[in-house]
Amino acid sequence: MASSSKKTRGKQKIEIKIIENEDDRLISFSKRCFGIYKKISELSTLCGSEILFIIFSPKGKPYSFAHPSTEFLTKRFLNPNQPLHETTDAPVEAYCK
């Protein structure tokens, strides 16, 4: 039978506040950053969306995720009036038509 004493606390709700211990803060950032990347990748794949995501670590190091590419999306962001036929997303073009 299962032991009555648990080895882990399991999934618990945590209070949202700054993590005082710097090492714990960096570990939490790393884990949560990976989770965000995974969700952004899923969103891009499932919806055919163009995504540019930039986040800075507590140490100031930038991390980014872009689909289809950082250069393409930066140009698109700087020129939002770019026609859809110049993009790489055929499903979005078909939907708009």
Is pLDDT larger for residue 82 or for residue 29? Answer: 29
The parent domain of residue 76 ranges over 49-96
- The residue that leads in pLDDT, 93 or 80, is 80
Residues present in the chain in total: 97
pTM for this predicted structure: 0.60
* For range 15-27, the mean pLDDT: 91
From 5-14, 40-49, 64-73, the region with the lowest mean pLDDT:
5-14
- 52 neighbors 70 (Cβ within 8 angstroms): yes
Would you say residue 69 lies in a domain?
A: yes
Q: For residue 67, is it within any domain?
A: yes
Pair 19, 28: CB distance under 8 Å? yes
The mean pLDDT value for 19-47 works out to: 92
- pLDDT of 17 reads 92
Tell me how many domains the chain contains: 1
